[in-house]
Amino acid sequence: MSDQDVVAKVGDLMRTLDDVKRYKELAYAMVDFGAIMVVAVIAVIGVTMFQSSVYIVSGFPTSNNGGAYLLFGTPFPSNILVFFGELIILFLGLILGVYRVDKRVRLTKVGEWKETLEEGAPGAIKILSNMEWDSLLGTVSVARVAYLFYSIIKVIGYFLLVSVILTFVSVFTLFSVPATLGYSSIPFISLIIVLLFTKNSLTEGFRKLRSLDSLFWDLRWFASEFKRADFNQT
Amino acid sequence: MKLRGLLLLLLLLAVLLPMTSAFHYASVPNFGYAGIGSSVVVVAKEDYIYARIQIVVQPLENNTNVLIHGGLAQTVGFTYPNGTTVTVTRPTTFTIILPNSAFFGEAVSWETGQISIGPGNPLGISVLTGQNATAFDMTKLSPPQGVEITQCSVSGDYDLSVQALGVSL
C-alpha cells in the first residue's frame, strides 16, 4: 500500500468519523428536542385547561350545539381559535425542535484532522496513533442509537401532527371521510401520508444505520490490528 | 443539567396529564319539542363537582325556520330549580351554577331509568319529555349520599340544547 493510499484511506475513515461525531451531537440534541416537544404538549394542556376553567367561571359559547373535541379522552367545548392556537403550538414545537437539532448538528466541529493529514503518511499515522479507540467505539454505538431514536421520534411527530390536522379538517370543515372507513381510518391515512413523504429520508436512515453497523465492526477489527502493529509501539 | 431539566418537564407533564381528567363535559344538543306539555332537564352530579349548566331555550314561534300549522304556538316558560318561572319570548341562555359541596370526594355510581353517573362520568344530563317528564318526580328518587340532583323544566313549543361543563375539586 502506497503512502497516497494510506492518506486516502485515513481521510475516508476520518470523514466517516466526522459523520459519527455529528450523530453523537444528535444524541445530545435529542434532549433539547424532547424538552421542546414536552413544553409544547404542556402548553397545549395548559391552554385547554385554562380555556375550560374560564368557560366554567364565565360561561362558554353555546353556538356549537354540543360540539366538543377530545383531549386525552376528555371532551371539551370547542373554540376554533383555541383549537387553531393549539395546532400552531404543536406545529411550532415540532419545527423548532427539528431546527434546533439540525443547527446543533450543523455546528459540530469537524475536519480538524485535515491539516495533520496534509503532512502525508506520517500525518495519517499520527492521527491514527492519537485516536482513543475505546471512546470512539462507544461514540459509534451512541450514534447508531441516536440516529434510530431521532428518526422514530420525527416520524411519530409528523404522524401526530397529520392526524390532528386531518381530524380538525374532518370535524370542522365537514371534509368527507370515506363513510365505510369512518374516523378510525384517520390514523391509517395519516401513517400512509407520513410514510410517503418520509420515504426517502427513511431509506437514507436505514442505509446510514447499516453503514454505522458495519463501521462499528470494521473499527473494532482495525483497532485491535492497529494496537498490535509495530509502528504504534514507537 | 439539560437532562435534569428534561426530567423535570416530564415530571410536570406527568402531573398535568391526570389533571385533564378533572374536567367533565355533558350535553344534550338540539332537543326539540312541540305540543302541549313540558320537558324536564335533569342534572345529576357527584358532590365534588363544580359545574356550569347552560340551557338554550328557543321558542319555535319566533324561529323563522319553523312553520306551525293548525292551532296556536304555545308560550314557552322556563322554571328554575327554585321554582321561579319566566316566560321565554326569544332565544335565551339560562345558566345554572352548581357548586361543589365536597372536596376530593369519592365517586359514587348511581343509575336510574332517567340518568346515570359514576366515576367515569360524574356529571350527567338528561332531558325528559312527554309522559316521562310528567311522571318524573325528583322527590321519589333517593340518590345515595354524594350524588346531587337538580332539575328545571321548560314548557310550550321550543327547541332546547343543554351543555354542562364541570371540574372535580
Enter the ipTM.
0.74
pLDDT, average across residues A80-100: 84
pLDDT, average across residues B117-124: 83
The model's pLDDT over A125-165, given as tens digits with 9 standing for 90+, comes to 788 777 777 777 777 777 777 777 777 877 887 887 788 77
Whether residue A32 and residue B2 make contact (CB cut-off 8 A), yes or no, is yes
CB of B121 closer than 8 Å to CB of B24:
yes
The model's pLDDT over A168-204, given as tens digits with 9 standing for 90+, comes to 777 665 555 554 455 567 778 888 888 888 888 778 7
pLDDT, residue A215, reads: 73
Q: Where are the beta strands (DSSP E) in chain B?
A: 23-33, 38-46, 49-59, 76-79, 85-88, 92-98, 110-111, 116-117, 123-129, 147-155, 158-168
CA distance A125 to B166: 73
Round the CA-based radius of gyration of chain B to a whole number and report it: 20
CA distance A118 to A55: 70
A190 vs A226, residue with greater confidence? A190
The C-alpha cell of A26 is what? 444528535
Taking CB atoms and an 8 Å cutoff, what residues of chain B touch A53? 167
DSSP state of B84: -
- CB contact, 8 Å: A34 with chain B? yes
Whether residue A76 and residue B30 make contact (CB cut-off 8 A), yes or no, is no
Among B163, B168, B169, most A C-beta atoms within 10 A, so best to mutate, is B163
CA distance A199 to A157: 15
